[in-house]
Amino acid sequence: MRVVLAQPRGFCAGVVRAIDTVEQALVKYGPPVYVRHEIVHNKFVVESLKAKGAVFVEELSEVPAGAVTIFSAHGVARAVEDDAAGRRLAVINATCPLVTKVHNQGKRYAGQGRALILIGHAGHPEVEGTQGQIPAPVHLVQTVEDVARLEIPIETPVAYVTQTTLSVDDTRAIIAALEARFTDIRGPDTKDICYATQNRQVAVRELSKVVDVILVVGAKNSSNSNRLKEIGAESGIPSYLIANGRELEPRWVQGVHTVGITAGASAPEVLVEDVIDALRQLGPVEVTTLPGREETIEFRLPPELATA
Ligand code: SF4
């Protein structure tokens, strides 16, 4: 069996920074440090950090007064920041700088008096954070149909921002519908869309041209991993999202010549290797990597840990 790995795949710079933030906070302050929400959407990562002394909570009320508290890569609403300040928690903010950039862009548009539209998935923590960061109503749009349902007069100056785990291609149709509906509309430059989301999606499209089956390594609640699976399926290739090698169903690869593997932005490479090992249990495997875009982006740690 041939195994072809997508390039790039797995960890993005925002995820590396978020995980390093928790690890360095544990070194600097000692355990426990509290983390609001899964630092990134991956159980393996969360369990590894728990073993080192991180405590994951969903609500700040679960954090003892004064404790070191880390906000996840997805970002948080202003109300959460205010709540933390009110409780004198020692906050370290691991929000990805590209998510912060979306917050700032949204604030600028709202400050210009534009009605703000957010293209994203309801209930995702990043969407809740972005909605809660902008001191004005934010209209969430998930589909082209939602655009027609917006209760904003067509001559109103509007602007849109997007959830970072949507790519240029994901948002193209919705943006076209918005531009068709509103006469005065602004949006970010496409180069402001997260490089990692875009690159992983381009890579899985390339992968789909040369393989018979695609395995996406990632968590079920990882938005970008689900999207990689959908893109594989849209390309006509059976595609499966699995957390690790144990979730591999032998029937998916029975009689298959070439298996493609990619990984969501929050999935560590060790899990890709785990899936390859699971394939090896079924027979000899030859592994190659597709040529793809090389990523060199790195983000500095939050200022509290800058010297770490
Ligand atoms: S996917 Fe993009 S926005 Fe999200 S954490 Fe990674 S680099 Fe940041």
The per-residue pLDDT for range 75-109, each reduced to its tens digit, is 999 999 999 999 999 999 999 999 999 999 999 99
High-pLDDT (> 90) share of the chain, %: 93
pTM of structure: 0.94
Distance 8 CA to ligand 1 centre (A): 14
pLDDT at position 168: 78
pLDDT at position 91: 97
Distance 89 CA to ligand 1 centre (A): 25
Query: Residue 120 and residue 14: Cα distance in Å, rounded?
Result: 19
Which uninterrupted H or E stretch holds 154?
none
Q: What is the largest CA-CA distance in the chain?
A: 63
196 ligand 1 Cβ < 6 A: yes
Q: In what order do the strands lie in the sheet with 68-71?
A: 54-57, 33-36, 68-71, 90-93
8 cis-preceded (ω within 30 degrees of 0)? yes
pLDDT at position 129: 97
Q: Which atom of ligand 1 lies closest to the CA of 299?
A: 7
Distance 23 CA to ligand 1 centre (A): 19
Candidate from 165-174, 252-261, 268-277 with smallest mean pLDDT: 165-174
Q: Are 5 and 290 in contact (CB under 8 A)?
A: yes
pLDDT at position 189: 79
40 ligand 1 Cβ < 6 A: no
99 ligand 1 Cβ < 6 A: yes
pLDDT at position 264: 97
Q: Is residue 112's pLDDT more than 70?
A: yes
pLDDT digits (tens, 9 = 90+) for 175-209: 999 999 999 999 987 777 799 999 999 999 999 99
Distance 144 CA to ligand 1 centre (A): 24
Q: Which position among 126, 128, 206, 304 bears the catalytic label?
A: 126
pLDDT at position 35: 97
18 ligand 1 Cβ < 6 A: no
Which of 96, 200, 298 to mutate to test ligand 1, by most ligand atoms within 8 A of the CB atom? 96
